[in-house]
Structure 1
Amino acid sequence: MECKLQLVVGSPASCMELELYGPDDKFYSKLDQEDALLGSYPVDDGCRIHEEMHQALEVGVSLGGSQRSREDRHTAQRVHEQGPSSALRFQCPGAINDVDANSVRSFLKRNKLGRYSEEERAQQEAESSQRLTEEAQAGAIPVGSRCEVQAPGQPPRRGTVMYVGLTDFKPGYWIGVRYDEPLGKNDGSVNGKRYFECQAKYGAFVKPSVVTVGDFPEEDYGLDEM
């Protein structure tokens, strides 16, 4: 029953506690049997099901510009109007009726409910595909190869591949390059961990997609003629 209510109210079934009340608001019983059907309880015309949520929904609930009480945010009444065979009509306190739509969407998104579970799955599949592509690109770049790095918005830089693999400073595969000139950002180490050896400002870590390996000899800048 809790799982069906979750689709309607958006709160997790694990947070719900259901109680059955008669037409005169007299408490009948707790609906705490997970496998029991609604008809197995003493349900009659005019009964209502009261749901209490034990964990905060973390939605911004306001009425008249002020925050409502914790009890209002966490409690909703569900009224059974016509009998046990009819559909439930859901009534909520004033604060719940005024829940901002964006807050509800944020709650559903954080808890991966409704369509957001599909979006999360699509995002995970895209990230997995990107990791596989990046891993294949890195596998085609041997350590010790001459290379040229063409990062977006920067001129080509030549150097030698010194490291290929995962790192501690950022997720994904990275290529450690020792440039021919002091055009890098480090000496082959990041955050105190060394990945390869080179002089200061000669080392850099770049993504495999911007690295091309091949016959890239050191460029002659004419320094020997000076």
Structure 2
Amino acid sequence: MRVSKPITVTIFVLSSTTRSERRFDLHTTIGQLKNKLELITGIPVQNQSIALHSSETDTTPLQALDDDSKSLGYYGVTDWQVLRVTDTDPSTSIVGQLGDISQVEKFELSEDAYAQRQDTVLAYKQRHKIGRFADKEVEEAETSVPHIDIPVGARCEVESTEEDFHKRGTVKFVGPTKFAKGVWVGVEYDEPIGKNDGSVQGERYFTCLPSHGVFVRPDRLNVGDFPVEEINFDDEEM
């Protein structure tokens, strides 16, 4: 008997003092979510204001998650979106009081004095020719993208650590991405065992059903004649 797996999303949780990557079931209600977020951010449930953003750089929220009875799925939350949790009354919470640095005396260093020091990030970059101090030829060589002979549309199988468990699908994307350096291969799995729908951090690279998409390094993937296999989940794993 085939049993459906819980539908989950991987999202980023941000607050004034924390940042973490978390995975939640889409059936989780906002009320249940707030209890989990209190353990993550330290912000009391009654003080939480949760806004959904498409990415960390997006300052305009998609919507507010303000109905405790509704689920994450109701609000259309997808992989790699951002939940920004705000403390509406920091004066009553320990986290809010710890985050108030208005009374802390700040140490300031002029640009000239900073440039003279040898124990700074700037000095390290200068010594090792990193960033804007790097040789132009070396920098161009590091940013070049090698050619990968993996055709889009090819059937493939992704390496799995589970014996007799074949993670098969179709190649949908090959190339550089914004979420990490190097070349990545986007795969649409035959089964809902993926991590996304072809988009990561608000950037779409291909389109597929939710939880069917994944991005892997080319060396973790084999291209060939891999027919579709139906995954049968053992009854003991219900």
TM-score by length of 2: 0.40
Kindly indicate whether structure 1 or structure 2 has the higher relative contact order, using CA contacts under 8 Å at least 6 residues apart.
2
TM-score by length of 1: 0.42
